[in-house]
Structure 1
Amino acid sequence: MKPDLRTALARKPLVGDGAMATYLYQLGLPVGVSFEEFNLLKPDVIADVHRQYAAAGAEIIETNTYSAQQNKLARYGLEHKVEEINAAGVALARRAVGDNVYVVGSIGAVRGGAGKNIRTAVVKRDFEEQIGVLLGSGVDGLLLETFFDLEEMSLALSLIRKKSDISVICQFAVEDPERTRDGIPLAEAFRRLKGEGADVIGFNCRSGPAGILRALETIPPDLSLPLSVFPNAGIPDYVDGQVVYSATPEYFGLSARKFADAGAKLIGGCCGTTPEHIAEIAKALRGYSPAAHAAVPAPAESQASVIEAASAPAEPPQDAEPSIVDLVRERHTIIVELDPPRDLDIARFMAGAQALKDAKADALTMADNSLAVTRMSNLALAALLKERVGIRPLAHIACRDRNLIGTQSHMMGFDALGIDHVLAVTGDPAKFGDLPGSSSVYDLTSFEIIRMIKQLNEGIAFSGKPLKQKAKFVVGAAFNPNVKHLDKAVQRLERKISAGADYIMTQPVYDPELIERIAESTKHLNVPIFLGIFPLASGRNAEYLHNEVPGIQLSDVVRQRMSGLEGAAGRAEGVKIAEELLDVAMAHFNGIYLMTPFMAYDMTVSLTEYVRSASPSLNRTPFK
């Protein structure tokens, strides 16, 4: 007979299961439905997922009841089936995995990402109803997961403790690695929950292994409480209408031991994870004994953004300033990415812009809420850059945030302000950003938005009506060369050029041989390419980008050179590697696209100056 869950967690790290909803999506089930209703409609499918995770090595299985609450089920007309769905969820899990695997009842936040205005009385009603059914159905424990606010977590925990002494796992989804969404420092939140009766506290969702490890390290060791971690499989990407995740099962296996070293006693996976990820975690934890060293902290938010694009070369008036396309056909031309701030303070952003202008960057490019994280409007900042700094702004336009009406209105505003260089991108799905309750629009694909902006250059609105005068947008398209089949990526790029793209901006490249292959594979194209270079800030930053950020692949050589380097030493080596890559890139491409890590614009200023000072012969030390 297995020990109770509380006892088992005190003995050794246990393996949790992986995602349910995203895995069902990968298996071909539709989105926009209640996955919890599948407990009734497709019980064999749900049971099979549970069996797969148990077979992979999961010692704890979550019931498929995360959103099985009255307020959430009401969206699908299922509010009267709360008891039936929750009871079925427990019965399916128990039947699928037997008595030797722990079954915990999954309870998600009622307010969640966008439900702050839901009355407390409604929240309490929903929790009480779901908790009662799960306890009555015979779970081994309860899991409160993906909670953003301490107050809501505390309410749910207090309701459980009024009914039962069952083991309770509390997991936050954090946007800030140091505090909850309601502003409570994580260490304080954990101490409070411990005092209120939580058995295990930790994190799930919102971040991949690197981000969750960073949050885990804010928890003081004197807390003396088992910790839990269920990270996402990296940052999701949106490719050809499909949401995909980049973190591999092998990476999860490597991360599992770091989590265990940091004190995690329950390690599983959230969005994007599969039985293969859980199998690697289980493999890594077999025979585990605590390491003598502390876990490596994770990097801050990555500056890498997935770039896709839009529109054709507007013929400028005779007295107009030469476009980026004009410049790059004549000489080395530098675009530098500097992301808008996430708060209302623009001082550092403007200082960076001025420094980059002084270094003779040709344009400053700004993402449009990259990674679905809310940032200041790049339209407003673009106008300020023109007015105060006098550098050309190049603004990204995401399909995610605006419908057809909003997108045309946005473009008309850019035209009125004389901001004519844009980059049309698909945009990361909203549910994976800092406001997961918001909607992703996607009225347009990246190919369609290229054509539609191009239409504005003909003086024709999206609706087909005349606009009295023509816009003059110059639009770039994204290219990710870090793929297994470069020829297929080039074919996709050709479609973007056919749609009207004027120039290409690539994802960061870290392999000189790949740079040469890109040059050879794209030499037939009649549009200029800006080769992406992203200077690495540390060894942790390198591993994060390689394993968790879609569209970025580091070479083994680069990872080895950055391994273990932090602080000034890490930045110095990152700049050195970037310079060596630039030597190769400048021999093949006039276009250079530099990305600024963590607002460390001194790094991209240095690299901009390096390009400007490069000798025509480019006889420099070869990349090693």
Structure 2
Amino acid sequence: MNILESLKDKLLVADGAFGTCYVGMYGEQGTVAPELANMRHPERVLEIHKEYVKAGAGLIRTNTFAANTASLDADTDYVISNVRAAVKLAKQAADGEAGTDHKKVYIAGDIGPIPADAGLTLNERVSQYKLLGGAMQDMGVDIIWFETFPEFNVLEPVVKHLKARKDTPVMVSFCVNQFGYSNCGFSARALLSQVAGNQDVDCVGFNCGVGPYHMLQLLKKLDIDCGKPVSVMPNAGYPKFTQSRLVFNDNKEGFIDKIQDIAALGADIIGGCCGTNPEYIHQIMERVKTGDIAKAAKVHVEKVQADSAVKDNFLKGRLERGGAATKNADGHKHKLIAVELAPPVDVNDQKLLDAAHILKQSHVDVVTFPDSPSGRTRADSILMAEKVHKETGLRVMPHLCCRDKNAIAIRGSVLGAQLNG
């Protein structure tokens, strides 16, 4: 039975984080990054995989999240050798530990995003993702898992290529913040919708970025019944700096409670990301065995479609430059871009926030907000501007219209705006 068939009738529990688990075990004594350990310290990699399988994980990810030329500072041949070694170790752990209870343990070939500052062009990144995925296909992984990506555009030609090459299942998992947006400005709803409509992707999911509470709140606003299996892998919580190190506090009890609620929303694959370890997975499996975590009927909650026309127009970057001239860092003049966003007529600001995040990625200089244009009631321009600034960091400029306010009301608004920065 392949992994897609298995997901039709049961919940699959995956492993937890590999990187933070490795650093926790060997960070002080070891001098090897987790991915480099595939070839330099294979016994460490094998031990962590085994612990996750013993904890009950039915799916483990290869230790290859950062196995790329930029992150490992290595050539392509070394990276591919590293990937092959990683898959062998994961298979060895799965076969050795699962054989005693005849439980099938699936292997996911894990591919993380190449760092944005690596200096690689789009075509170079696409080419490298194809090579990594192809090597994993040849090694016989059960699924290729593109993990923690902020966008799908770079992966679209990759998954098309891999599917044409060999029919290995493919999963794409996105990383969004507590407001539901990725680093590239795409909303969770838009990403889910985009991948749900792609025939080359078999599973979709969200991982990293947020802890279990914010992940649960995000999923409650989405309809995750998208016609494809969905994975959800939140962080253990939020890290703190301790002695110049990022440390995740133990949050097993709160994590397990929220994972139980996430499973009830209809998640097909659950597990953990940064800060989780085999004990977290063991506790999840204990809840599964007692029936506290069961595959529940998928719940349809708020279903709001993003304004795809607005998104597509701004993504093309066809913004006409106009306005006052200023100087950039090298002394050359350029014109500022100001874009107006009208506050909503009700309390649903999803479309406006989607547009604001797209404008941020399009390098708009300032976003302006009219004050109830055409004499129709809309959300307050100052409060709307403050929310957009808080969530995106954009420069904002609310308008104040004297038509509908007397002097007292206008002074009150200005004072309130000053108090809020």
Are 1:56 and 2:55 matched, yes or no? yes
Q: CA 1:256–1:17 in structure 2 vs 1: closer, same or farther (change >3 Å)?
A: same
Give CA deviations for 1:327-348 in whole Å, capped at 9, x if unaligned.
xxxxxxxxxxxxxxx9867944
Residue identity matched to 1:84: S
Deviates more, 1:38-47 or 1:114-123: 114-123
Are 1:109 and 2:109 matched, yes or no? no
Q: CA 1:222–1:129 in structure 2 vs 1: closer, same or farther (change >3 Å)?
A: closer
Match 1:285 to one of 266, 288, 291: 288
1:246 matched residue in structure 2? 249
1:496-575 mapped onto 2 (5 Å cutoff): none
2:94 matched residue in structure 1? 97
1:140-539 mapped onto 2 (5 Å cutoff): 140-175=142-177, 177-196=179-198, 197-246=200-249, 248-286=251-289, 287=291, 288-291=293-296, 347-348=382-383
Deviates more, 1:43-52 or 1:10-19: 10-19
Give CA deviations for 1:76-97 in whole Å, capped at 9, x if unaligned.
x454401210000000011112
Contact 2:150–2:186 (CA<8 Å) still a contact in 1?
A: no
How far the C-alpha of 1:36 sits from its partner, in A, is: 0.9
1:86 matched residue in structure 2? 83
How far the C-alpha of 1:214 sits from its partner, in A, is: 2.6
1:34 matched residue in structure 2? 33
How far the C-alpha of 1:242 sits from its partner, in A, is: 3.1
| TM-score (norm. length: structure 1) | 0.46
| TM-score (norm. length: structure 2) | 0.66
Give CA deviations for 1:344-399 in whole Å, capped at 9, x if unaligned.
679449999xxxxxxxxxxxxxxxxx9xx98589xxxxxxxxxx979x99xxxxxx
Residue identity matched to 1:123: R
How far the C-alpha of 1:188 sits from its partner, in A, is: 3.8
> Tell me, what secondary structure is at the counterpart of 1:86?
helix
Contact 1:226–1:263 (CA<8 Å) still a contact in 2?
A: no
How far the C-alpha of 1:285 sits from its partner, in A, is: 2.2
Cα distance in structure 1, aligned partners of 2:220 and 2:118 = 28
Contact 1:70–1:80 (CA<8 Å) still a contact in 2?
A: no
Contact 1:257–1:285 (CA<8 Å) still a contact in 2?
A: no
How far the C-alpha of 1:140 sits from its partner, in A, is: 1.0
Cα distance in structure 2, aligned partners of 1:4 and 1:119 = 35
1:23 matched residue in structure 2? 21
How far the C-alpha of 1:6 sits from its partner, in A, is: 0.6
Cα distance in structure 2, aligned partners of 1:280 and 1:262 = 19
Contact 1:206–1:231 (CA<8 Å) still a contact in 2?
A: yes
- Aligned-CA RMSD value: 3.6
2:336 matched residue in structure 1? none
Contact 1:232–1:272 (CA<8 Å) still a contact in 2?
A: yes
Contact 2:234–2:271 (CA<8 Å) still a contact in 1?
A: yes
Contact 2:241–2:247 (CA<8 Å) still a contact in 1?
A: yes
Contact 1:252–1:281 (CA<8 Å) still a contact in 2?
A: no
Q: CA 1:45–1:116 in structure 2 vs 1: closer, same or farther (change >3 Å)?
A: closer
Cα distance in structure 2, aligned partners of 1:289 and 1:187 = 25
Cα distance in structure 2, aligned partners of 1:84 and 1:223 = 36
1:472 matched residue in structure 2? none
How far the C-alpha of 1:221 sits from its partner, in A, is: 4.9
2:12 matched residue in structure 1? 14
How far the C-alpha of 1:35 sits from its partner, in A, is: 1.9
Contact 1:199–1:226 (CA<8 Å) still a contact in 2?
A: yes
Cα distance in structure 2, aligned partners of 1:285 and 1:163 = 37
Cα distance in structure 2, aligned partners of 1:66 and 1:282 = 24
How far the C-alpha of 1:181 sits from its partner, in A, is: 4.2
Cα distance in structure 2, aligned partners of 1:130 and 1:291 = 35
Contact 2:11–2:295 (CA<8 Å) still a contact in 1?
A: no
Cα distance in structure 1, aligned partners of 2:138 and 2:236 = 33
How far the C-alpha of 1:42 sits from its partner, in A, is: 0.6
Cα distance in structure 1, aligned partners of 2:301 and 2:53 = 29
Cα distance in structure 2, aligned partners of 1:165 and 1:179 = 31
How far the C-alpha of 1:295 sits from its partner, in A, is: 10
1:123 matched residue in structure 2? 125
Give CA deviations for 1:438-488 in whole Å, capped at 9, x if unaligned.
xxxxxxxxxxxxxxxxxxxxxxxxxxxxxxxxxxxxxxxxxxxxxxxxxxx
Contact 2:176–2:183 (CA<8 Å) still a contact in 1?
A: yes
Residue identity matched to 1:110: I
Residue identity matched to 1:64: N
Residue identity matched to 1:146: T
Q: CA 1:289–1:109 in structure 2 vs 1: closer, same or farther (change >3 Å)?
A: same
Larger-gyration structure (1/2): 1
How far the C-alpha of 1:235 sits from its partner, in A, is: 0.7
Q: CA 1:225–1:110 in structure 2 vs 1: closer, same or farther (change >3 Å)?
A: same
Contact 1:4–1:140 (CA<8 Å) still a contact in 2?
A: yes
> Tell me, what secondary structure is at the counterpart of 1:35?
coil
Contact 2:143–2:168 (CA<8 Å) still a contact in 1?
A: yes
Structure 2's unaligned 5+ residue stretches are: 99-103, 303-356, 361-365, 368-380, 396-413
Instruction: Give the total of aligned pairs.
Output: 318
Contact 1:147–1:153 (CA<8 Å) still a contact in 2?
A: no
Cα distance in structure 2, aligned partners of 1:142 and 1:263 = 22
Cα distance in structure 1, aligned partners of 2:7 and 2:157 = 24
Contact 1:253–1:283 (CA<8 Å) still a contact in 2?
A: no
> Tell me, what secondary structure is at the counterpart of 2:63?
coil
How far the C-alpha of 1:28 sits from its partner, in A, is: 2.9
Cα distance in structure 2, aligned partners of 1:351 and 1:135 = 48
Q: CA 1:37–1:191 in structure 2 vs 1: closer, same or farther (change >3 Å)?
A: same
How far the C-alpha of 1:268 sits from its partner, in A, is: 0.8
Q: CA 1:149–1:117 in structure 2 vs 1: closer, same or farther (change >3 Å)?
A: farther
How far the C-alpha of 1:24 sits from its partner, in A, is: 1.1
How far the C-alpha of 1:104 sits from its partner, in A, is: 0.8
